[in-house]
């Protein structure tokens, strides 16, 4: 799946996790919105999700993840597994066109409709059309600077926006502490 029109980046660094998303919404070759919120907190503000793909589909998946979190007492791993299973096997859900990153104090996951739940090795993962640029920049910043998670997300998203025409520099960043 390759989604145009967004970049979402998650970074774990120095006791914090930050997730950032650009604000551009593109319809074919036209920018229709500059300040969309593609990153939000769910489940009593303990989990951050970011999504790429069709907006209605992404919001539906976010709501379904929150329902799973309620059912499994905030256990992100179990909830992600159950959501991915449902997404892969349910006839309606299989047609949803979106990807999601979900982060809590213990884990970072990319969740896809193929049933994939991917946890990054180095604490950096990105999705969307500018995801490769954002992830590469963030990986280098984690390795070669002492920046915090928020600073890395901000800088890497700026780099992605300078390269990807479907990504802008209006970025929403949410952050959580990993030590709580």
Contacts of 65 (CB under 8 A, 6+ apart): 42, 49, 79, 80, 83, 100, 102, 111
6 among known catalytic residues: yes
Q: Cβ(8)–Cβ(19) under 8 Å?
A: yes
Gap between the Cα atoms of 11 and 28, Å rounded = 29
Question: Rounded to a whole number, what is the largest CA-CA distance in the chain?
Answer: 46
- What is the CA 97 to chain-centroid distance, rounded? 14
Q: Cβ(176)–Cβ(42) under 8 Å?
A: no
Out of 6, 7, 167, 172, pick the active-site residue. Answer: 6
Gap between the Cα atoms of 14 and 146, Å rounded = 9
What count of Cα atoms within 13 Å lies in the side-chain half-sphere of residue 145? 16
Catalytic residues: 6
């Amino acid at each position: 799946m390759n989604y145009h029109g967004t970049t979402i980046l998650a970074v774990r660094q120095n006791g914090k996790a930050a997730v950032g998303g650009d604000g551009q919404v593109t319809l074919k070759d036209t920018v229709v919105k500059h300040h969309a919120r593609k990153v939000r907190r769910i489940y009593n503000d303990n989990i951050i999700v970011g999504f790429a793909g069709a907006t209605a589909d992404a919001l539906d998946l976010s709501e379904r993840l929150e329902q799973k979190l309620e059912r499994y007492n905030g256990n992100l791993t179990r909830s992600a597994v159950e959501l991915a299973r449902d997404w892969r096997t349910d006839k309606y859900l299989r047609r949803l066109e979106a990807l999601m990153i979900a982060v809590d104090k213990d884990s970072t996951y990319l969740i896809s409709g193929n049933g994939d739940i991917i946890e990054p090795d180095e604490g950096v993962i990105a999705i969307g059309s500018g995801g490769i640029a954002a992830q590469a920049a963030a990986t280098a910043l984690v390795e070669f600077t002492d920046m915090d998670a928020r600073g890395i997300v901000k800088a890497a998203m700026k780099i992605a926006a300078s390269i990807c025409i479907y990504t802008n520099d209006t970025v929403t960043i949410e952050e959580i502490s990993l030590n709580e």
